[in-house]
Amino acid sequence: MGFTHFDENGKAFMVDVTNKKETVRTAEAVGTIKVSKEVYEAVKSGTVGKGDVLGVATTAGIMGAKHTSDLIPMCHILPITNCSIQFELDPEEYAIHCTCTVKVTGKTGVEMEALTGVSTALLTVYDMCKAIDKSMEISGIYLRRKTGGKSGEIINMK
């Protein structure tokens, strides 16, 4: 199977989905930011009191998911019908795990929306903590699950 975003002359284009059926599609993407102990503690205490880094990152992630077709050149404009961001704190690794779930009734999937939502949320965490720690690292961004469309359900267990 070859690229779907290039024509026979190697020119990029937005894939034609005109004749695809509208079906319910979901995608769930994940990612992680590893931070210093100091950042970890600050983020953790913020979520229960003040300085709510993850609250701001949740809002940014949802807005980022809505901006996907502005950022990714060959992505279709999709009126997504649901988007949520969840964070989980991992005290062993000083890691913050993020999950973004997106749904649509549409002609093409929302994998890129979920991945863009996760990326934007994690970049926002980075931005708000970078005065404390300049060596944070974002990793493990991948599609955990999708449903709907021609390829049906796909689950990546890592």
| 62 lies in the site for its own copies, by CB under 8 A | yes
Q: What contacts 70, CB < 8 A, 6 or more positions away?
A: none
Report the nearest approach of its own copies to the CB of residue 42 (Å). Answer: 6
Q: Catalytic site residue 90?
A: no
Is 113 within any annotated ligand binding site? yes
Is 67 within any annotated ligand binding site? no
Radius of gyration of the CA atoms of the chain, in A: 17
Distance CA 98, CA 119 (A): 9
| 142 lies in the site for its own copies, by CB under 8 A | yes
| 86 lies in the site for its own copies, by CB under 8 A | yes
Distance CA 139, CA 135 (A): 13
- For its own copies, the closer of residues 96 and 115 by Cβ is 115
Cα–Cα nearest to 123, from 102, 98, 101: 98
- Provide φ and ψ at 103, rounded to 5°: -130, 155
Q: Identify the active-site residue in 16, 52, 70, 127.
A: 127
**Residue 63, Cβ neighbours under 10 Å: how many?**
14
Span 34-53, contacts to its own copies by CB under 8 A:
38, 42, 46, 49-53
With CB under 8 A as the contact rule, the residue among 80, 96, 98, 149 that binds its own copies is 80
With CB under 8 A as the contact rule, the residue among 28, 40, 96, 120 that binds its own copies is 120
| 153 lies in the site for its own copies, by CB under 8 A | no
Active site residues: 127
